[in-house]
Amino acid sequence: MYHIYVDTPQQDGSECIPHLVEHCVLGNVKSARDYFSQRRISGENYTYYTSFALDTDSEEVLNRFLVDITAPISPEIIAYEAGVLKKEVTPQRYFSSLISKVWQRLYGTGYRYGTSQRVARNRVIAYHAAHYQKDRFCVLERDSRPMRVELSGVSYEPAFAIRNRGEKEIVSVADFSPESSFVGGIMEKLLDAYLEFHERYSQGEYSYNDTLYGEFPDKVFLSVEAKFVGLLKMLPESFAEEFVRHTLENFDNGDYADSDGPLMLKYGFCLSEESKKEIIRNCQKYYEAYRESLP
Ligand SMILES: [Zn+2]
C-alpha cells in the first residue's frame, strides 16, 4: 500500500477547487476494466492537503499513477465531476459546517468547507497544473523518515462552544505538533469508543461517530456534542486501560497514515513506532489534559 500526500491549499476561502481536482485526477472510468483497476485507488481531500491510497506494492504501478495524476485534466471531466462533488458533499453538511465554524472562530476569516461552488474550469486547470507536480508529492512508504521525538505533553486551550445546525458543540484546540497531531487521532478513537460503549451497551442507543478530530496547518481540534461532555468527563480509568491494551495489541493492523502524511508534509518526518506506542501508553495523561479544557 502506498499513501501519497500533496499540499493543496484552499482557494477563495474554500477547498472546493482542490477537492474537485482530486476527483478529476481519479475520475476517468470508461470501461469495466477501468472501474476495477480504480478500486485499488482512493482519494481524500482535507482542509489543506489531499491524500491518495494506492493498494499495490509495485513501484511501477506507483510511478504510473504519479504520471497519470499530473497529466492535464480536461474541461469535460471537470464539468462531470463538479456534479458528482455536489452530490457527495450535500449529506456531510453537519461536519462541514462545523469545520467551517471552527476555522472562522480560530482565524476570523470565512471558510466554506465541504461545499461545492461554481468555479471557472480554467481556474481548476490552473490549480491542478500548479500543485500536482512530480516533486510536490510525498509518498509515505517510499519517503518515510520515522523519528523518535521527545514527548512533552499536549495542552489544550480552554474549550469554546459553537452552535452548529441546532446542536451545541464543545471544541478544544491544541497547537499543531508531531505529538498533538497523533494524540488528536488517538483521543478521537478513545472518546468514540467510550461513547459507543456507554450509549450502545448501557442506554440502548445506536451510536455514530460523535466526536470530530480535525486539523488546520497549525492547529489540531477535537469537537464533541455538548450533551456528551458530562459523560466524557467521567471516562473511567479502567476503560482507558482496556483501550490502551487493545490498541497496542492491534498496533500492526492500525493504519496511522492519517497522521503520518501531514507530518511528512510539514516537518519532513513522521513519528516512529516507539513514539506512537509511547503516546498510546500515556493515553490517560493525554485524556486528562483534554478533560481539563472542558467546561
Ligand atoms: Zn470527494
Express each pLDDT in 151-194 by its tens digit. Answer: 999 999 999 999 999 999 999 999 999 999 999 999 999 999 99
Give the pLDDT mean for 248-273.
Answer: 90
User: Around Cβ 11, how many Cβ atoms within 10 Å?
Assistant: 18
User: Around Cβ 204, how many Cβ atoms within 10 Å?
Assistant: 7
With cut-offs at 50, 70 and 90, classify the pLDDT of residue 253. confident
Check residue 165 and give left, alpha or beta (phi > 0: left; psi -120 to 50: alpha): left
CA dihedral 54, 180, 232, 198 (to 10 degrees): 30
User: How many whole angstroms from 124 Cα to the centroid of ligand 1?
Assistant: 15
Find all residues with CB under 8 Å of 55, minimum gap 6, and list them: 1, 40, 41
Strand order in the sheet with 41-45: 41-45, 49-54, 2-7, 138-139
Q: What are the domain boundaries of the chain?
A: 2-143, 154-293
With cut-offs at 50, 70 and 90, classify the pLDDT of residue 68. very high
- Chain mean pLDDT for the chain: 94
User: How many whole angstroms from 52 Cα to the centroid of ligand 1?
Assistant: 11
CA-based nearest residue to 24, from 90, 83, 112: 83
User: How many whole angstroms from 20 Cα to the centroid of ligand 1?
Assistant: 7
Residue 162 is predicted with a pLDDT of 97
Does residue 254 contact residue 247 with C-beta atoms inside 8 Å?
yes
User: How many whole angstroms from 160 Cα to the centroid of ligand 1?
Assistant: 30
User: How many whole angstroms from 22 Cα to the centroid of ligand 1?
Assistant: 7
Does residue 102 contact residue 40 with C-beta atoms inside 8 Å?
no
User: How many whole angstroms from 145 Cα to the centroid of ligand 1?
Assistant: 29
Alpha carbons 64 and 80: distance in angstroms, whole number: 24
Tell me which H or E stretch contains 182: helix 178-195
User: How many whole angstroms from 85 Cα to the centroid of ligand 1?
Assistant: 6
Nearest 5°: CA angle at 109, between 106 and 115? 100
Q: Which one has a higher pLDDT value, 19 or 210?
A: 19
User: How many whole angstroms from 19 Cα to the centroid of ligand 1?
Assistant: 6
State the architecture of 2-143 in CATH terms: 2-Layer Sandwich (3.30)
Residue 181 is predicted with a pLDDT of 95
User: How many whole angstroms from 88 Cα to the centroid of ligand 1?
Assistant: 6
Residue 111 is predicted with a pLDDT of 92
- Quote the percentage of the chain above a pLDDT of 90: 84
User: How many whole angstroms from 114 Cα to the centroid of ligand 1?
Assistant: 9
Cell of 256: 496511522
Cell of 9: 491549499
User: How many whole angstroms from 16 Cα to the centroid of ligand 1?
Assistant: 10
Give this prediction's pTM.
0.92
User: How many whole angstroms from 44 Cα to the centroid of ligand 1?
Assistant: 6
Does residue 99 contact residue 124 with C-beta atoms inside 8 Å?
no
Q: Is the pLDDT of residue 207 over 80?
A: no
Residue 37 is predicted with a pLDDT of 83
Give the pLDDT mean for 92-109.
Answer: 94
Alpha carbons 66 and 60: distance in angstroms, whole number: 10
